[in-house]
Amino acid sequence: MVMAGFVIALIVVALLAFGVVLRPLWREARGLAASVAVLLLAASGALYWLVGTPGAIEQPTNRPATPRSLDEAIVQLRAALASNPEQAEGWVLLGRSLSSQQKFAEARDAFARAVALRPDEPDVLVAAAQARMLADDSGRPDPQAMRLLEHALVVQPDHQRARWFLGVVQRQAGQPAQASATWEPLLSVVDSDTRPGLLEQINAARQEAKLAPIQAPVASAADAANAASAKRIQVRVTLDAEFAKRAGLPGDTSVFVIARAAHTPMPVAVEKHTLSELPLTITLDDGDSPMPTRTLSSLDKVQVLARLSRSGNAMRQADDVESMPAVVELPAGAPVELVIGR
């Protein structure tokens, strides 16, 4: 069984590296600036993939010693995959961790193993294509990367990263008109900060193809912004009075307010506050997303909860106290009331 801290270390580095690669397409949002603590919360969900049960997060026994470095963590992950090579998520973690160390050829091979196990999973296909592109610094187009990205878009036509990277490969391959056509649908879904840079790339490709420049679809962008704005959740968090008397916790105790998709621990929106701020009313929206490709507005139903953390660690600990989760249909019709300790 892979040690919890080791897996988290890998995923945090992977998520950070992942964000750097995507920077040309998505600028940092308010949620991304929330610190490594928020990334840790996203990372904690990946423990379910490798250990197989939510209860395993709180089981301290029968685990290897905590690795002292990322290199040791990667060694442990390789050992775990040698024993259980059918873990697609493990290969993805290995690929992202190796990418963070700029070991792109090894990352490419790890992602290839993941694709063999999950040939129709768009995120895996895109990660594998990206690794192939980074492993080859010749500037030449990679036909296999193009095939992976094309298949990702067949499976999920609205996959933004697949669309972005496919356009990159098409332009490398001397297909500027196709690159422009691939990128243009992104104009109506990316944020207002990203849109000018994307439009510049599209028009540069169109110029290469001897096509007239285009303008950003202002109305469509506004519609997308309005849709995202509608999928906000107002949340009121309070602390049960009797629990507060018994617990006697200091005011700087951390409180995480989390929205996540049903049947998964991975958050789509997170805010961190302190106990002294309670009772607290906040609004969760796309700006609170730990990852720009997995946002609140992309879902129709979420589970919302509040977690009191004595350790301040975003990963769930054995002594954390949570509210009862509330299932919310989006757009939310009324504020969500959460009580911690009841």
The residue type found at 236 is: R
The residue type found at 63 is: R
Tell me the C-alpha distance between 41 and 316, whole Å: 8
Lowest mean pLDDT among 17-26, 73-82, 102-111, 124-133: 17-26
* pLDDT one-digit tens code per residue, 128-180: 999 999 998 787 889 999 999 999 999 998 899 999 999 999 999 999 999 99
> Tokens standing for 43?
């990372």
Domain regions of the chain by residue span: 4-220, 231-340
Higher local confidence (pLDDT), 225 or 92: 92
Q: Are 301 and 327 in contact (CB under 8 A)?
A: yes
| Helical pair 88-100 and 70-83, crossing angle rounded to 10 deg | 160
CB-based contacts of 33: which residues, under 8 Å, 6+ apart? none
How far the first Cα of the chain sits from its last, in Å, is: 34
pLDDT of residue 63: 54
Tell me the C-alpha distance between 328 and 342, whole Å: 20
DSSP state letter for 188? G
Q: How far is CA 310 from the centre of its chain?
A: 25
pLDDT of residue 287: 84
Phi, psi of 28, rounded to the nearest 5 degrees? -65, 130
Q: Which CATH number fits domain 4-220: 1.20.1510.10, 1.10.150.120, 1.25.40.10, 3.40.50.720?
A: 1.25.40.10
> Tokens standing for 319?
């002594």
Q: Each residue of 210-231: b (16+ CB within 10 Å) or e?
A: eeeeeebbeeebeebbeebeeb
> Degrees (nearest 5) of the Cα angle 46, 272, 263?
35
Q: How far is CA 74 from the centre of its chain?
A: 21
Answer whether residue 62 shows pLDDT above 80. no
| Helical pair 104-117 and 122-135, crossing angle rounded to 10 deg | 150
* pLDDT one-digit tens code per residue, 230-263: 678 999 999 999 998 998 899 999 999 999 987 6
Answer whether residue 34 shows pLDDT above 80. no
pLDDT of residue 179: 96
